[in-house]
């Protein structure tokens, strides 16, 4: 009889800890929201945390309800009941995992990179003087047109209010845009840009750039592949701009 009480007490404590911790956190957020106070809400962390908590708590209740562990802990001698107990523990551990440092620093980052490979891109161009210098140079040379704020949105990978207008054309055919310098500029701005697949590069370009008529730039997978094998001098000029040789 005493063993049954101890078992139920442990189950109760685990349930109270799991539900109470998430309830306390979001009750606090709700209270701050009600009084128009500042709220720290990182949707990329909190939404997955809520989802995993719901999933974990569902597993815990399902294990207790289906196996009848709560009604009669003495039936744990059955292999099936032991499996249900393991499901309960797994649900509790799933909820607990969302509060660990690895959840935010490792798990969330890996999920981001899997769902959105572009999120792994980073830039070393953070100095404001350098940002303005690069922006002015490319605009003056006719590569693209945009204001400084739009160019900075690209560097920070923010959703742009307005796309950058790509103007660079093929020398022998001024009516056709040359896409090769566009890829080269982005590869100089972002580390690991070349590791993106062709389709990811195309989507990225279309998100931040448009043609002079504000239409999506026509880019094929072959355009990207040709750029990766292109060693022309006009692409080297772009590298020189980033090195400050302009």
Q: What is the pLDDT of residues 147-188, one digit of tens each?
A: 999 999 999 888 888 999 999 998 888 889 999 999 999 999
pLDDT of residue 240: 86
- Is 8 in the same domain as 107? yes
Can you tell me which residue has the tokens 């606090």? 28
- Is 191 in the same domain as 96? no
- Is 82 in the same domain as 20? yes
pLDDT of residue 226: 93
Q: In the listed set 84, 115, 146, which residue is the last one of a domain according to the structure?
A: 115
Q: Which residues contact 51 (CB under 8 A, 6 or more apart)?
A: none
* 48, 95 contact by CB (below 8 A): no
Can you tell me which residue has the tokens 């309800």? 65
pLDDT of residue 28 exceeding 90, the answer is no
Between CA 149 and CA 159 the distance in angstroms is: 12
Give which of 152, 188, 183 is closest to 168, Cα–Cα.
183
Domain of residue 198 covers 120-243
| Residue 161 Cα distances to 1, 97, 147, 217, 242, angstroms | 67, 37, 11, 17, 25
User: Is pTM, for the whole model, over 0.75?
Assistant: no
- Is 10 in the same domain as 55? yes
Please tell me the total count of domains within the chain.
2
| Residue 199 Cα distances to 143, 224, 233, angstroms | 23, 9, 26
User: Where is average pLDDT lowest: 37-46, 112-121, 122-131, 146-155?
Assistant: 112-121
- Is 207 in the same domain as 109? no
Q: What is the mean pLDDT of the chain?
A: 86
Tokens of 149: 């704020």
pLDDT of residue 2 exceeding 50, the answer is no
DSSP 131-157: HHHHHHHHHHTTSEE--HHHHHHHHTT
- Is 165 in the same domain as 223? yes
pLDDT of residue 117: 64
- Is 67 in the same domain as 178? no
pLDDT of residue 181: 95
């Amino acid at each position: 009889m005493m063993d049954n009480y101890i078992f139920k007490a442990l189950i109760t404590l685990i349930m109270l800890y799991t539900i109470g911790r998430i309830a306390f956190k979001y009750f606090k957020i709700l209270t701050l929201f009600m009084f128009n106070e500042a709220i720290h809400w990182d949707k990329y962390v909190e939404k997955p945390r809520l989802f995993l908590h719901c999933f974990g708590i569902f597993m815990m209740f399902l294990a207790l309800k289906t196996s009848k562990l709560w009604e009669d802990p003495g039936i744990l001698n059955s292999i099936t009941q032991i499996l249900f107990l393991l499901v309960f523990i797994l649900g509790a551990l799933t909820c607990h995992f969302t509060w660990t440092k690895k959840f935010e620093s490792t798990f969330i980052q890996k999920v981001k990179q899997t769902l959105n490979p572009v999120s792994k891109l980073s830039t070393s161009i953070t100095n404001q003087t350098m940002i303005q210098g690069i922006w002015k140079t490319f605009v003056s040379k006719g590569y693209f047109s945009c204001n400084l704020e739009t160019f900075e949105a690209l560097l920070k990978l923010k959703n742009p209010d307005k796309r950058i207008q790509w103007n660079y054309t093929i020398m022998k055919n001024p009516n056709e845009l040359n896409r090769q310098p566009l890829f080269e500029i982005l590869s100089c701005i972002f580390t690991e840009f070349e590791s993106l697949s062709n389709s990811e590069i195309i989507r990225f370009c279309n998100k931040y750039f448009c043609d002079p008529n504000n239409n999506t730039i026509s880019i094929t997978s072959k355009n990207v592949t040709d750029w990766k094998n292109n060693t022309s001098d006009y692409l080297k000029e772009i590298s020189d701009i980033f090195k400050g040789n302009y």
